[in-house]
Chain A
Amino acid sequence: MAKTGITLTRRGLGAMLAVGLLAGGLAGCGNSDTGGDDKSGGSGNGKLVMGFSQVGAESGWRTANTNSIKESATAAGIELKFDDAQGKQENQIKALRNFIQQKVDVIAFSPVVESGWDTVLKEAKDAKIPVILTDRAVDSADKSLYKTFIGSDFVKEGKLAGEWLVKEKASAAGPVNIVELQGTTGAAPANDRKKGFAEAIAANPNLKVVASQSGDFTRAGGKQVMEQFLKANPKIDVLFAHNDDMGLGALEAITAAGKTPGKDITIITVDAVKDGMQALADGKFNFIAECSPLLGPQLMDLAKKVKAGEEVPARVETEETTFTQEQAKAALPNRKY
């Protein structure tokens, strides 16, 4: 027994050593990558270092978000260590641990999912690295694990969409049948937009959601679900899609069913990415509640304040608006994403 115990420990030691070497190698790569001559990691040259872990590059919206963060970091003189989690929580946790090991000044990340962050956030807290959440929230009960959360208010976006519909259909005599394309099941924007929309349309009992399914925030998903909605429900008056991409996919299904999007079926979406704005300007969509990805400047500002030890509000909202067809025509030429 004792003998096996020793071999086990030895093997364990070897494994630990190997992991240590690997991690060291990775950290080294990170340093040489950013071209800094500081060997002590983080803030050797006095520049504020931010580690940012992005969800992925799943949409045009996300890419605009990434670009905004990268550009405003350069503009604000902040050294950015950027990581793409490719939509996987385990990648993101790995990236956060790397940032902690590299002793960055501030960690910011856009969580892939809402739950399961307590352990790694605790590690960051123990290392005295402040964490800023961007765009998506986490459901940790302990609010001291992160400094602040900057991002859109998804409930408000759903509400704005619903309120516009209530006004638009105020004179409708009979029932108005609504179908809903939800985002990825369990994702915060899907849950919150659904909630906000439901709250707003409760103002008019004629407005009824007859079917609601997940289209996974993708065009293919939106199209596939809409095809079945159209067959299952002979009378659809309104489509509410949780993002532009699902709405764009649904457009094709509606056209294939011989209906005219924007006229036979009123289409409301959230996001306002370029392709969506184009559809709105072309009269295929009817209303978009904006979810602005351009939170880079606000984020850099917050990071500096947090580093300086200033008090920051626990919740910072991104500046956003809504678009009708006319507004889209006017805004389209200057659209960045």
Chain B
Amino acid sequence: MSTVRARAAGVTSHRLFWPLVVLVLLLVANAVYRPSFLSIELKNGHLYGSLIDIVRLSAPLILVALGMSLVIATGGIDLSVGAVAAVAGAVACLYISEQPDQNSLGVVLTAVALGFGVALLLGAWNGILVAGIGIQPIIATLILMVAGRGLAQLIAEGQIITINSGPYKVIGVGHLLTLPFAIVIALAVTLLVAVLTRRTALGMIIESVGGNAEASRLAGIRSRRITFLVYVVSAACAAIAGFMMTANVSSADGNAVGLWVELDAILAVVIGGTALAGGRFYLGGTVVGALLIQTLTTSVYAMNIDPQTSLLFKAVVVIVVCLIQAPAFRARFRRRRSVPVTPVEPVGTEKEQVPA
């Protein structure tokens, strides 16, 4: 008996338990509202259904959030990811739109390489500002968050660049073995990052830099180089997300691509159990967080929640997730429920401490 209870307690106290519960609850709510929500059918040789939409549309967010996890693990933050995604997408689409044969694979590969290259430069810029010059990450990346959006518009000359390129479109809406290609890319990148950080010492080194950069430096870790590296990786992830977002609609809109994705990414990271203070990161949690956020967005459309109230609906769900996930909140709740007669005592001691 006691082992069963202990095991149950172990499961419920796992940091992914509550986000997963909310994710399942959302899906159940959708299924109750419309039973066909969970159905997946085979259409034109690939899977089709709301669940597939969620997975496909969350791919860019998963990528951006992955990079964000690493940045946050070092105690930093990267606000520029949305702008970097917009710039990378705009560069790629501009190059494709200027070629005579937009359907050539070579053209698309060159375009993606160009966009990726520009994004790496932008990431290096962030890295230099934070690791080299020592500017606060939130300020350093805020610069590019604003300037990058302008840069994306400058590249597109304020227009929406529309392209008609089969190979590029594959990145956003293509399929591989009946699965959306976008999610295959996102999972591949997730695996790559997971292997690089968790099968080598790199992940622990990143966490140690986030825990105490100076102490890690004294312990022989080149902490500045690690900090620089995570901003470049974050920009690289954002660039791939930018390709997906622009390929999804075959057009690059400097204003709309990746707008506010940095906030969604931070939210995904936090829901996944990574603390903003740095020192720890959980890639699996980040992926669950990203899926949860996209499920929330899709639910609003699928259940036809009034647009005026949809933001409030999202906010309430997010607050609930964050609260029940916090062990301190759960402990408090449990104590109150089990000992309803004597809640006065702890409150009293707290109050006594205030003036001292």
Contacts and interface: CB of A to CB of B under 8 A. Distances in A.
Q: Do A and B originate from a single complex?
A: yes
Interface in A215-264: 216, 218-221, 223-225, 227-229, 231-232, 245, 248-249, 252, 256-258
Interface residues of A, number: 38
Given A57-B153, A218-B253, A231 B307 contact: no
Interface string A46-59: 00000000001111
Contacts of B158: 57, 62-63, 66
B184 to A, nearest CB: 17
A220 B249 contact: yes
Contact of A185 (B248, B255, B256, B307): B307
B245 A220 contact: yes
Given A223-B248, A228-B53, A258-B43, A218 B304 contact: no
A275 B251 CA distance: 11
Interface in A248-289: 248-249, 252, 256-258, 275
A163 B268 CA distance: 45
Interface string A197-229: 000000000000001111010111101110111
Contact of B149 (A86, A225, A245, A258): A86
- From A224, A228, A258, name the one whose CB has the most chain B CB atoms within 10 angstroms: A228
A257 B52 CA distance: 13
Contacts of A219: 160, 249, 251, 253, 256
- From B160, B245, B256, B310, name the one whose CB has the most chain A CB atoms within 10 angstroms: B160
B2 interface: no
A101 to B, nearest CB: 23
Contact of B255 (A66, A87, A225, A232): A87
Interface string A293-304: 000000000000
A148 B308 CA distance: 30
A224 B59 CA distance: 14
A225 B308 CA distance: 15
A219 B157 CA distance: 18
A211 B304 contact: yes
A60 interface: yes
Contacts of B254: 57
Contacts of A232: 34, 302, 304
B197 interface: no
A224 B255 contact: no
Interface in B4-50: 34, 36-37, 43-44, 48-50
B136 interface: no
B249 A223 contact: yes
A58 B251 CA distance: 13
A157 B248 CA distance: 29
Nearest to B43: A258
A275 B162 contact: yes
B302 A228 contact: yes
A197 to B, nearest CB: 15
Contact of A218 (B34, B57, B162, B256): B256
B235 to A, nearest CB: 21
B173 interface: yes
Contacts of B257: 220
B308 A249 contact: no
Contact of B160 (A216, A225, A245, A258): A245
B264 to A, nearest CB: 14
A256 B159 contact: no
B298 interface: yes
Interface in B233-258: 245, 248-251, 253-257
A118 to B, nearest CB: 23
A60 B248 contact: no
Contacts of A225: 301
Interface string A162-191: 000000000000000000001001100000
Contact of A214 (B162, B256, B307): B307
Contact of B44 (A66, A186, A223, A258): A258
A57 B153 CA distance: 8
Interface string A32-75: 00000000000000000000000011111011001000000000
Contact of B301 (A62, A213, A218, A249): A213
Given A220-B249, A252-B173, A275-B162, A231 B37 contact: yes
Nearest to A252: B249
Contacts of A87: 255
Nearest to B305: A213
B49 A213 contact: no
Contacts of A258: 43-44
A230 B205 CA distance: 48
A229 B301 contact: yes
B304 A56 contact: no
A229 B298 CA distance: 10
Interface string B52-82: 0100010000000000000000000000000
B190 to A, nearest CB: 22
A325 B237 CA distance: 42
B181 to A, nearest CB: 13
Nearest to B158: A57
5 contacts: A213-B300, A220-B257, A224-B53, A245-B160, A256-B48
Interface of B: 34, 36-37, 43-44, 48-50, 53, 57, 149-150, 153, 157-160, 162, 173, 245, 248-251, 253-257, 297-298, 300-302, 304, 307-308, 310
- Interface pairs A-B: 5 shortest CB-CB: A57-B158, A228-B301, A214-B307, A219-B249, A218-B256
